[in-house]
Structure 1
């Protein structure tokens, strides 16, 4: 399975997120899954790629040219796919991935999550989107989604498109059912 990881490229975040992210990368490799990610050598992006790569897994970096030109490509990218911009990156990720897992992240991660979910909502695909709620990092987003649903702004239950997990064991169960 090709698992696309959406996550932070920042380094000044809770160290536990790095530990859990590297574990996810190793878990993916152990289960013969490939990791698709943004290809950047910073933050959780670098961490998940390192975990997967060092455990013998394959990593696929979908890399905007501006990242390539700035020299910020991860050393742990096995397959480089260059693209023109962030919109191209998201489309390539959506096309190539079997499932999406969102780790802690900011505006870019939110953009990626909702682009994929919106595409599924109108019928472009039926791929799973998983929020890995490490240390409650997505609790506020979950509350917002609940509020939007209560107010009638979502056509269906948002949980039909976005699944919440708190551990690798839950990811494993979700992907194997």
Structure 2
């Protein structure tokens, strides 16, 4: 099983973001769940990859050629794919994943999250799409989902795609509810 992780190439100003990214990387590795991510060794991206690798995890990076020059590619991953574009990166991450988690990040993180959310909304996949709402980072976005629902721009069944976690335990509970095989590995982390 693999999970695509979308997160910042920066660490953010509050140390809780990097702390929680590392915790997630460690717990996914211990549960033998692979990470698919953007392939960078900086920011939250690098932190989650390093922590998973430190604990024997499987980490697959997908990095577009043009970013390889700006975001230093992680040199110690299980696998790394250098691809031709951001579009190819997102498609490859989607193909390799059984679920998707967005940690705090900037516009790129939101772009990746909303594309995979939209794919679920229009029926291209039924995999879990999780916002990891560390330190209330996504509170305003969650409220905006309610506004979209209230104003008739999404339907209740589309709103139900939004799954929010505030802890690693929440993430494993969401994954367990969606994938029987995760129930077994999630118990290893307890």
Partner residue, 2:123: 123
Are positions 1:108 and 2:108 aligned together? yes
Deviation at 1:108, TM superposition (A): 0.5
Residue 74 (1) aligns with residue 100 (2): no
The whole-number CA distance in structure 2 between the counterparts of 1:138 and 1:70 is 27
Between the two proteins, the alignment pairs up a number of residues equal to 177
Native 8 Å contact 1:52 1:59 kept in 2 = yes
Change (3 A) 1:109 1:70: closer
5+ long unaligned stretches in structure 2: 178-190
The answer for the alignment partner of 1:63 in structure 2 is 63
Distance in 1, Cα, partners of 2:141 & 2:175: 22
How big is the alpha-carbon RMSD for the aligned residues of Structure 1 and Structure 2?
A: 1.3
Of 53-62 and 159-168, more deviation after overlay is shown by: 159-168
* Cα distance in 2 between the residues matched to 1:131 and 1:51: 20
Q: How far does residue 121 in structure 1 lie from its aligned partner after superposition? A: 1.4
Q: Which runs of 5+ in 1 are unaligned?
A: none
Give yes or no for the alignment of 1:170 onto 2:156: no
Aligned to 2:99: 99
**d(CA) in 2 for partners of 1:70 and 1:43?**
13
Q: CA deviation at 1:69?
A: 3.7
| 2: CA distance, partners of 1:163 / 1:118 | 14
- 2: distance between equivalents of 1:13 and 1:128? 28
Match of 1:42 in 2: 42
TM-score w.r.t. the length of structure 1 is: 0.95
**1:117 positional shift:** 1.0
The normalised TM-score by structure 2 is 0.89
Q: Is the 8 A contact 1:9 1:40 kept in 2?
A: yes
Aligned mates of 1:132, 1:70 — CA distance in 2: 26
Task: Measure the CA separation in 2 of the matches of 1:165 and 1:155.
Answer: 21
